[in-house]
Chains A and B, each alone.
Chain A
Amino acid sequence: MTISEQTKIELRELMSRYPQSRSALLPMLHLVQSVEGYVSQEGIEVCAVEVGLSTAEVSAVASFYTMFKRYPVGKHHIGVCTNSMCALLGGDNIWRTLSKELDAGHDETTADSMFTLERIECQAACTHAPVMTVNWEFMDDMTEQKAAQVVSDLRAGKDLQATRGAKVRTFKDVQRTIAGFDDGLVDEPSIDASMLAGLNEFKNSTKGGK
Protein backbone atom coordinates (compact mmCIF):
# COMPACT_ATOMS: atom_id res chain seq x y z
CA MET A 1 0.00 0.00 0.00
CA THR A 2 1.18 3.50 -0.59
CA ILE A 3 0.27 6.83 0.88
CA SER A 4 -1.76 8.63 -1.78
CA GLU A 5 -1.48 12.24 -2.81
CA GLN A 6 -4.91 12.80 -1.27
CA THR A 7 -3.61 11.60 2.08
CA LYS A 8 -0.58 13.84 1.78
CA ILE A 9 -2.89 16.80 1.21
CA GLU A 10 -4.77 15.83 4.37
CA LEU A 11 -1.52 15.48 6.29
CA ARG A 12 -0.62 18.99 5.26
CA GLU A 13 -4.03 20.20 6.31
CA LEU A 14 -3.39 18.79 9.79
CA MET A 15 -0.03 20.57 9.86
CA SER A 16 -1.67 23.85 8.93
CA ARG A 17 -3.79 23.68 12.07
CA TYR A 18 -0.75 24.27 14.30
CA PRO A 19 1.68 27.19 14.57
CA GLN A 20 4.56 24.68 14.33
CA SER A 21 3.97 21.90 11.87
CA ARG A 22 5.69 19.25 13.98
CA SER A 23 2.98 19.70 16.61
CA ALA A 24 0.67 17.89 14.19
CA LEU A 25 2.69 14.69 14.32
CA LEU A 26 0.30 12.74 16.57
CA PRO A 27 -2.83 13.36 14.49
CA MET A 28 -0.78 12.73 11.36
CA LEU A 29 0.25 9.32 12.60
CA HIS A 30 -3.40 8.56 13.40
CA LEU A 31 -4.27 9.54 9.86
CA VAL A 32 -1.57 7.15 8.61
CA GLN A 33 -3.20 4.42 10.71
CA SER A 34 -6.57 5.25 9.16
CA VAL A 35 -5.11 4.64 5.72
CA GLU A 36 -2.62 1.86 6.29
CA GLY A 37 -4.21 0.16 9.29
CA TYR A 38 -1.01 0.74 11.25
CA VAL A 39 1.95 3.12 11.30
CA SER A 40 3.87 1.77 8.35
CA GLN A 41 7.50 2.51 7.56
CA GLU A 42 6.31 4.44 4.54
CA GLY A 43 3.92 6.41 6.75
CA ILE A 44 6.82 7.29 9.04
CA GLU A 45 8.91 8.43 6.11
CA VAL A 46 6.10 10.54 4.65
CA CYS A 47 5.43 12.22 8.00
CA ALA A 48 9.15 12.84 8.48
CA VAL A 49 9.46 14.53 5.11
CA GLU A 50 6.31 16.59 5.63
CA VAL A 51 7.19 17.97 9.06
CA GLY A 52 10.94 18.10 8.49
CA LEU A 53 12.04 15.62 11.13
CA SER A 54 14.30 12.62 10.76
CA THR A 55 12.68 9.21 10.41
CA ALA A 56 14.33 8.28 13.70
CA GLU A 57 12.52 11.10 15.47
CA VAL A 58 9.18 10.07 14.00
CA SER A 59 9.89 6.42 14.85
CA ALA A 60 10.63 7.49 18.42
CA VAL A 61 7.20 9.10 18.70
CA ALA A 62 5.42 6.26 16.94
CA SER A 63 7.00 3.64 19.18
CA PHE A 64 6.44 5.59 22.39
CA TYR A 65 2.63 5.75 22.30
CA THR A 66 0.79 2.46 22.57
CA MET A 67 -2.10 3.69 20.45
CA PHE A 68 0.22 3.65 17.47
CA LYS A 69 0.53 0.14 16.12
CA ARG A 70 3.57 -0.97 14.22
CA TYR A 71 2.03 -4.12 12.77
CA PRO A 72 -1.20 -4.32 10.78
CA VAL A 73 -4.25 -4.22 13.04
CA GLY A 74 -7.33 -6.35 12.30
CA LYS A 75 -10.52 -4.84 11.02
CA HIS A 76 -11.58 -4.32 14.60
CA HIS A 77 -9.46 -3.47 17.60
CA ILE A 78 -10.73 -4.90 20.85
CA GLY A 79 -9.38 -3.61 24.13
CA VAL A 80 -10.09 -5.23 27.46
CA CYS A 81 -9.31 -3.18 30.53
CA THR A 82 -7.38 -5.26 33.01
CA ASN A 83 -6.43 -2.57 35.46
CA SER A 84 -7.36 -3.25 39.06
CA MET A 85 -10.98 -2.08 39.16
CA CYS A 86 -12.07 -3.79 35.94
CA ALA A 87 -9.90 -6.82 36.61
CA LEU A 88 -11.56 -7.41 40.01
CA LEU A 89 -15.03 -6.97 38.59
CA GLY A 90 -14.48 -9.53 35.84
CA GLY A 91 -12.07 -7.99 33.37
CA ASP A 92 -9.54 -10.75 33.81
CA ASN A 93 -12.17 -13.35 33.02
CA ILE A 94 -13.32 -11.43 29.97
CA TRP A 95 -9.72 -11.24 28.82
CA ARG A 96 -9.28 -14.97 29.19
CA THR A 97 -12.53 -15.71 27.39
CA LEU A 98 -11.78 -13.47 24.44
CA SER A 99 -8.19 -14.52 24.22
CA LYS A 100 -9.30 -18.16 23.99
CA GLU A 101 -12.18 -17.35 21.66
CA LEU A 102 -9.97 -15.39 19.27
CA ASP A 103 -6.84 -17.46 19.81
CA ALA A 104 -4.83 -14.26 20.23
CA GLY A 105 -2.74 -12.83 23.03
CA HIS A 106 -1.91 -9.26 23.95
CA ASP A 107 -1.34 -7.07 20.91
CA GLU A 108 -1.94 -9.98 18.59
CA THR A 109 -4.14 -10.21 15.52
CA THR A 110 -6.33 -13.13 14.61
CA ALA A 111 -5.39 -15.30 11.66
CA ASP A 112 -8.30 -13.95 9.61
CA SER A 113 -7.19 -10.33 10.29
CA MET A 114 -10.60 -9.55 11.78
CA PHE A 115 -9.54 -8.72 15.31
CA THR A 116 -6.59 -7.37 17.22
CA LEU A 117 -6.76 -7.97 20.95
CA GLU A 118 -5.06 -5.75 23.51
CA ARG A 119 -4.92 -5.48 27.27
CA ILE A 120 -5.60 -1.81 27.80
CA GLU A 121 -4.99 0.48 30.73
CA CYS A 122 -7.64 2.38 32.66
CA GLN A 123 -10.15 4.14 30.38
CA ALA A 124 -11.52 6.31 33.19
CA ALA A 125 -14.88 4.52 33.02
CA CYS A 126 -14.68 2.55 36.24
CA THR A 127 -18.32 3.42 36.85
CA HIS A 128 -19.13 0.85 34.21
CA ALA A 129 -16.44 -1.67 35.10
CA PRO A 130 -15.58 -4.03 33.63
CA VAL A 131 -15.23 -2.14 30.37
CA MET A 132 -14.09 -3.17 26.97
CA THR A 133 -13.52 -1.04 23.90
CA VAL A 134 -14.24 -1.82 20.30
CA ASN A 135 -12.23 0.50 18.11
CA TRP A 136 -12.02 2.73 21.17
CA GLU A 137 -15.85 2.92 21.56
CA PHE A 138 -16.99 1.94 25.05
CA MET A 139 -18.65 -1.37 25.81
CA ASP A 140 -19.72 -0.84 29.41
CA ASP A 141 -20.67 -3.32 32.12
CA MET A 142 -19.36 -6.26 30.22
CA THR A 143 -19.69 -9.91 31.12
CA GLU A 144 -17.98 -12.84 29.49
CA GLN A 145 -21.18 -13.67 27.61
CA LYS A 146 -21.76 -10.12 26.42
CA ALA A 147 -18.16 -9.83 25.28
CA ALA A 148 -18.37 -13.04 23.33
CA GLN A 149 -21.62 -11.81 21.78
CA VAL A 150 -19.94 -8.56 20.69
CA VAL A 151 -17.23 -10.54 18.97
CA SER A 152 -19.60 -12.88 17.21
CA ASP A 153 -21.80 -9.99 16.08
CA LEU A 154 -18.80 -8.22 14.64
CA ARG A 155 -17.65 -11.37 12.95
CA ALA A 156 -21.10 -11.80 11.45
CA GLY A 157 -20.92 -8.26 10.14
CA LYS A 158 -23.93 -7.12 12.11
CA ASP A 159 -24.46 -3.45 12.87
CA LEU A 160 -23.42 -2.84 16.41
CA GLN A 161 -24.02 -0.01 18.83
CA ALA A 162 -21.67 0.89 21.64
CA THR A 163 -23.45 0.63 24.97
CA ARG A 164 -23.73 4.38 25.18
CA GLY A 165 -25.25 4.54 21.74
CA ALA A 166 -22.46 5.35 19.29
CA LYS A 167 -22.30 3.34 16.11
CA VAL A 168 -19.38 0.90 15.98
CA ARG A 169 -17.29 1.40 12.89
CA THR A 170 -13.93 -0.06 11.85
CA PHE A 171 -10.53 0.60 13.37
CA LYS A 172 -9.45 2.61 10.33
CA ASP A 173 -12.59 4.74 10.35
CA VAL A 174 -12.13 5.60 13.99
CA GLN A 175 -8.46 6.46 13.46
CA ARG A 176 -9.58 9.06 10.97
CA THR A 177 -11.84 10.57 13.58
CA ILE A 178 -9.03 10.60 16.12
CA ALA A 179 -6.81 12.30 13.56
CA GLY A 180 -9.25 15.19 13.69
CA PHE A 181 -11.49 14.82 10.65
CA ASP A 182 -15.22 15.28 11.12
CA ASP A 183 -17.12 12.01 10.83
CA GLY A 184 -20.54 13.61 11.29
CA LEU A 185 -21.08 11.64 14.46
CA VAL A 186 -20.35 14.40 16.92
CA ASP A 187 -23.87 14.31 18.35
CA GLU A 188 -23.84 10.60 19.10
CA PRO A 189 -24.46 9.99 22.78
CA SER A 190 -21.39 9.32 24.89
CA ILE A 191 -22.50 9.86 28.44
CA ASP A 192 -25.30 8.51 30.61
CA ALA A 193 -26.87 8.98 33.97
CA SER A 194 -24.56 6.67 35.88
CA MET A 195 -21.54 8.48 34.56
CA LEU A 196 -23.01 11.69 35.91
CA ALA A 197 -24.10 10.16 39.21
CA GLY A 198 -21.03 11.22 41.09
CA LEU A 199 -21.23 14.76 39.80
CA ASN A 200 -24.89 15.02 40.68
CA GLU A 201 -24.21 13.63 44.13
CA PHE A 202 -21.53 16.26 44.62
CA LYS A 203 -23.81 19.05 43.45
CA ASN A 204 -26.62 17.90 45.72
CA SER A 205 -24.41 17.57 48.77
CA THR A 206 -22.85 21.01 48.35
CA LYS A 207 -26.19 22.73 47.62
CA GLY A 208 -27.15 22.64 51.27
CA GLY A 209 -23.75 23.70 52.44
CA LYS A 210 -23.56 26.90 50.43
Chain B
Amino acid sequence: MVEIPQVIRAFGTTFLNMFKKPITEQYPEEKHLYPPKPRFHGRHQLNRYADGLEKCIGCELCAWACPADAIYVEGEENTDEERFSPGERFGKVYQINYLRCIMCGLCIEACPTRALTMTNEFELADDERGKLIYEKSDLLAPLLPGMAPAPHSMVEGFTDRDYYSGKVTGATPKQIEEAGN
Protein backbone atom coordinates (compact mmCIF):
# COMPACT_ATOMS: atom_id res chain seq x y z
CA MET B 1 0.00 0.00 0.00
CA VAL B 2 1.30 3.35 -1.03
CA GLU B 3 1.27 5.98 1.66
CA ILE B 4 -0.39 9.27 0.80
CA PRO B 5 2.08 11.98 1.65
CA GLN B 6 1.28 13.97 4.79
CA VAL B 7 1.05 17.22 2.97
CA ILE B 8 -1.67 15.97 0.64
CA ARG B 9 -3.66 14.59 3.59
CA ALA B 10 -3.53 17.96 5.22
CA PHE B 11 -4.75 19.71 2.13
CA GLY B 12 -7.46 17.09 1.88
CA THR B 13 -8.84 18.30 5.22
CA THR B 14 -8.82 21.84 3.92
CA PHE B 15 -10.50 20.74 0.72
CA LEU B 16 -13.26 18.88 2.52
CA ASN B 17 -14.01 21.87 4.79
CA MET B 18 -14.59 24.07 1.79
CA PHE B 19 -17.97 22.33 1.40
CA LYS B 20 -19.08 22.76 5.04
CA LYS B 21 -21.39 25.57 6.23
CA PRO B 22 -19.30 28.29 7.97
CA ILE B 23 -20.07 28.99 11.67
CA THR B 24 -18.20 32.30 11.96
CA GLU B 25 -20.21 35.06 13.74
CA GLN B 26 -20.15 38.36 11.96
CA TYR B 27 -19.81 40.32 15.21
CA PRO B 28 -20.10 43.29 15.49
CA GLU B 29 -21.72 43.69 12.05
CA GLU B 30 -24.40 41.14 12.88
CA LYS B 31 -25.20 41.45 16.56
CA HIS B 32 -28.37 39.71 17.39
CA LEU B 33 -27.89 36.30 15.88
CA TYR B 34 -27.24 34.88 19.32
CA PRO B 35 -28.84 37.19 21.93
CA PRO B 36 -27.85 36.71 25.57
CA LYS B 37 -30.14 34.75 27.82
CA PRO B 38 -32.83 36.86 29.53
CA ARG B 39 -31.14 36.66 32.93
CA PHE B 40 -27.69 37.48 31.62
CA HIS B 41 -25.92 40.02 33.91
CA GLY B 42 -25.14 42.97 31.68
CA ARG B 43 -24.70 46.69 32.17
CA HIS B 44 -26.71 48.25 34.99
CA GLN B 45 -29.65 50.54 34.57
CA LEU B 46 -31.16 53.11 36.95
CA ASN B 47 -34.89 52.86 36.50
CA ARG B 48 -37.58 55.48 36.59
CA TYR B 49 -41.16 55.56 37.75
CA ALA B 50 -43.84 55.81 35.10
CA ASP B 51 -43.87 59.61 35.38
CA GLY B 52 -40.12 59.89 34.89
CA LEU B 53 -39.03 60.43 38.52
CA GLU B 54 -35.97 58.41 39.42
CA LYS B 55 -36.30 55.37 41.61
CA CYS B 56 -32.84 55.74 43.10
CA ILE B 57 -32.88 57.26 46.60
CA GLY B 58 -29.11 57.44 46.97
CA CYS B 59 -29.12 55.06 49.93
CA GLU B 60 -25.79 53.48 48.97
CA LEU B 61 -26.94 49.98 49.81
CA CYS B 62 -25.66 48.87 46.38
CA ALA B 63 -22.27 50.33 47.19
CA TRP B 64 -22.38 48.62 50.56
CA ALA B 65 -23.23 45.26 48.99
CA CYS B 66 -20.63 45.52 46.25
CA PRO B 67 -17.81 43.05 46.87
CA ALA B 68 -15.57 44.81 44.35
CA ASP B 69 -16.07 48.37 45.60
CA ALA B 70 -17.16 49.36 42.13
CA ILE B 71 -20.05 51.66 43.04
CA TYR B 72 -19.82 55.21 44.34
CA VAL B 73 -22.93 57.09 45.44
CA GLU B 74 -23.57 60.46 46.98
CA GLY B 75 -27.04 61.25 48.26
CA GLU B 76 -28.75 64.62 48.35
CA GLU B 77 -31.99 66.04 49.60
CA ASN B 78 -34.95 66.60 47.28
CA THR B 79 -36.43 70.07 47.60
CA ASP B 80 -39.78 71.36 46.47
CA GLU B 81 -38.01 73.31 43.75
CA GLU B 82 -35.91 70.43 42.51
CA ARG B 83 -37.24 66.92 42.93
CA PHE B 84 -35.58 63.93 41.30
CA SER B 85 -37.24 61.11 43.19
CA PRO B 86 -40.27 60.68 45.42
CA GLY B 87 -39.51 61.06 49.12
CA GLU B 88 -36.74 62.92 50.87
CA ARG B 89 -33.59 61.65 49.23
CA PHE B 90 -32.13 61.04 45.78
CA GLY B 91 -28.84 59.90 44.34
CA LYS B 92 -26.91 63.00 43.23
CA VAL B 93 -23.79 61.18 42.14
CA TYR B 94 -23.98 57.62 40.90
CA GLN B 95 -20.96 55.92 39.40
CA ILE B 96 -20.22 52.32 38.50
CA ASN B 97 -16.66 51.47 37.64
CA TYR B 98 -16.81 48.68 35.06
CA LEU B 99 -13.11 48.03 35.42
CA ARG B 100 -13.95 46.75 38.89
CA CYS B 101 -17.48 45.41 38.49
CA ILE B 102 -17.65 41.61 38.43
CA MET B 103 -21.29 41.53 37.35
CA CYS B 104 -22.29 39.50 40.39
CA GLY B 105 -25.61 41.26 40.86
CA LEU B 106 -25.43 41.67 44.62
CA CYS B 107 -26.17 45.39 44.13
CA ILE B 108 -29.43 44.50 42.39
CA GLU B 109 -30.47 42.36 45.32
CA ALA B 110 -29.58 45.12 47.78
CA CYS B 111 -31.58 47.85 46.06
CA PRO B 112 -34.66 48.62 48.19
CA THR B 113 -36.58 50.45 45.45
CA ARG B 114 -35.67 48.31 42.43
CA ALA B 115 -33.97 51.36 41.06
CA LEU B 116 -30.96 49.34 40.02
CA THR B 117 -31.39 46.43 37.64
CA MET B 118 -29.17 44.85 35.03
CA THR B 119 -29.74 44.94 31.31
CA ASN B 120 -28.51 42.37 28.81
CA GLU B 121 -26.10 44.88 27.38
CA PHE B 122 -22.69 43.21 27.34
CA GLU B 123 -20.59 45.50 25.18
CA LEU B 124 -18.49 47.00 27.90
CA ALA B 125 -15.18 47.68 26.27
CA ASP B 126 -13.51 50.95 25.56
CA ASP B 127 -10.19 52.48 24.72
CA GLU B 128 -9.72 54.52 27.88
CA ARG B 129 -10.01 53.68 31.57
CA GLY B 130 -11.88 56.86 32.44
CA LYS B 131 -14.64 56.04 30.02
CA LEU B 132 -15.41 52.85 31.91
CA ILE B 133 -16.58 54.74 34.96
CA TYR B 134 -20.22 55.12 34.07
CA GLU B 135 -21.97 58.17 35.48
CA LYS B 136 -25.58 58.51 36.47
CA SER B 137 -26.37 59.99 33.08
CA ASP B 138 -24.96 56.88 31.39
CA LEU B 139 -26.91 54.52 33.60
CA LEU B 140 -30.34 56.18 33.76
CA ALA B 141 -33.08 54.37 31.92
CA PRO B 142 -34.26 56.07 28.73
CA LEU B 143 -37.45 58.11 28.92
CA LEU B 144 -40.37 56.06 27.70
CA PRO B 145 -43.53 57.58 26.29
CA GLY B 146 -45.54 59.20 29.07
CA MET B 147 -42.48 60.07 31.17
CA ALA B 148 -41.22 63.55 31.89
CA PRO B 149 -37.54 63.98 32.75
CA ALA B 150 -36.75 64.79 36.39
CA PRO B 151 -36.59 67.19 38.16
CA HIS B 152 -40.27 67.75 38.59
CA SER B 153 -42.81 67.41 41.39
CA MET B 154 -44.60 64.24 42.38
CA VAL B 155 -48.01 63.51 40.95
CA GLU B 156 -50.35 65.81 42.84
CA GLY B 157 -51.88 64.19 45.90
CA PHE B 158 -49.52 61.23 45.78
CA THR B 159 -46.96 60.34 48.43
CA ASP B 160 -43.75 58.38 48.08
CA ARG B 161 -45.69 55.42 49.45
CA ASP B 162 -48.01 55.56 46.42
CA TYR B 163 -45.00 55.50 44.14
CA TYR B 164 -43.59 52.42 45.86
CA SER B 165 -46.89 50.62 45.58
CA GLY B 166 -47.00 51.28 41.85
CA LYS B 167 -49.97 53.62 41.71
CA VAL B 168 -48.34 56.10 39.37
CA THR B 169 -49.09 55.44 35.72
CA GLY B 170 -47.62 58.38 33.87
CA ALA B 171 -46.67 62.03 33.97
CA THR B 172 -49.43 64.57 34.50
CA PRO B 173 -49.64 67.71 32.36
CA LYS B 174 -48.37 69.72 35.31
CA GLN B 175 -45.28 67.51 35.61
CA ILE B 176 -44.65 67.70 31.87
CA GLU B 177 -44.84 71.47 32.04
CA GLU B 178 -42.43 71.61 34.98
CA ALA B 179 -40.03 69.29 33.21
CA GLY B 180 -40.26 71.44 30.11
CA ASN B 181 -39.15 74.47 32.06
Indicate if A touches B (C-beta under 8 A).
no
- Residues of A in contact with B (beta carbons under 8 Å apart): none
